[in-house]
Structure 1
Amino acid sequence: MTQNVFTLEISGLNVSSHSGTRVLDNISLQVEPGEVRALVGESGAGKSMIGRAVLGTLPPILDKSSGHIILNGKDLSLLSERKRREWVAHNAALIPQDPLSALNPVRRVGAQIITPLVRIHSWSKREAEDRCLSLLDQVKIRDPKRVLKSYPHELSGGMRQRILIAAAFANRPPLIVADEPTTALDVTVQKEILKIVRLLQEDTGTAVLFVTHDMGVVAQVSQTLTVLFGGRVLEDSKTHDVFTRDASHPYTQALIRSTPDYHSAGGKFVPVPDNVIATLHAQMRERLS
């Protein structure tokens, strides 16, 4: 049995609102097995929408109008709704941006992360609990048994995010969509979370589609990156190349320059220049005319 060349392959993906407004414009990208690909850009660039299109969780007002999403060898557009949900559930997982809203406040943590393993993946309850305890230990949570019996409000934001990371990696899915998982956390906790994600990813060989607006995070976690603006791809490159050469897109260069330096005091925030944004908006208008 030959291994799939790509864990995820997106080609010509267009997503529009019911009114016809284009949200994603001809998106094409690939993620190899074990690869971490960053999706980077400012708010509204379409980063999270790509992840949601893959997972089948686009808002009701939006719809995939054309294109193909091939996840672990299957073209999702050729599957029925039920078969698509089943395939995605077995082959992809999400690390969400807001750990508090992602967890049900009236259910204990253990029930929320063990039940999907039992129902979707047909594990025994003992198997699922043992796996979750092991992963909670790996993500540096003290007293995992107590945490499984806790409610989300009894835990810190960093602990809740670690729990969701453990839940995403529990079944060793071929692909994880990490949707800005450090945005709601302070800088110190961010560093710890990124280290945990990187270690688990290396241990499991899971591919990760890492959504972020922070080029500093991109440099730490990814091998490749896709830069987006206004729902279209501006640059697709190896991460190392983007940070070591001058030939990258002006918008990518501006994003790198605008990344805050947390290691030195007195640094100034450098916004993306108005002329770069103006040029991109002009190109968008030309495409739509």
Structure 2
Amino acid sequence: MTTTDRRTLLTETVLVLGLSLGASAVWSLLSLVRKLTAEAPLSAQTTAMNTSRVPDRPWLDLAYQLADVTLALVPVLLALHLLARDPGPAVPGALGTPGTLVTPGAAHAAGPPHRLMGLDLTRPTRDLLHGTALAAAIGIPGLGLYLGARALDLSTTIAPANLPQVWWAVPVLVLASVQNALLEEVVMVGYLFRRWSQAGWSTVTVVVVSALVRGTYHAYQGFGGFVGNVAMGLLLGWVYTRTRRVMPLVVAHTLLDVVAFVGYAVLADRVGWL
């Protein structure tokens, strides 16, 4: 591959990130700077997520929420569209080695891009089990990290769900969880791992850079959110290099967000330490 080809691939990834999670990373860093320069310490500040747009008009509020979920999936479709234009994918190699371009005729190169990254329902039981195990491995220590970071004034207090008491609140929170999982795992793993591997990056570099970007767009939560999501990105990236399947990652991410969003909505008024 020529230098021009590599530059084109990397430029494409910058543009896709600039339209999605890269832009979120910029806003997240600015939010962190604002919170660090405020008079109140980080632990005394609250980061509100999944907030109401027009709480006095529930049906219009629902329309806003559904529009947010739907439009956030456009970068996922864009990434899949761009991958579908390839003559053949690059498959990340073993840790420490660059990805290798394969020909369109190779057995593992056949099929649409969502199949190539394992975003399908061909292994539902295995993906569900693997995803649930990943969610437990991430969520339990992640909760401890959050509580510890807040105690050390390294994290804001996070309020994951702030919708009014309406019938559609829980379904919207579940949809938001699925949207977050698809956006982050398809773009940050399925798409970027292939593109950066095609550009000649080693698998270690791909995993680490993806994890750092993941941590950066969660930095609005504080340093705990950054560290926790970098660790999550490293684990999920490593799993993907072993399985070549995004679906278990999507399952794990969805479960984590559903527990955080819906759990907070149900327990916030009953559990003081949240």
TM-score (norm 1): 0.23
Return the structure number with greater relative CO, CA threshold 8 A, min gap 6. Answer: 2
Bigger proportion of residues as helix = 2
TM-score (norm 2): 0.24
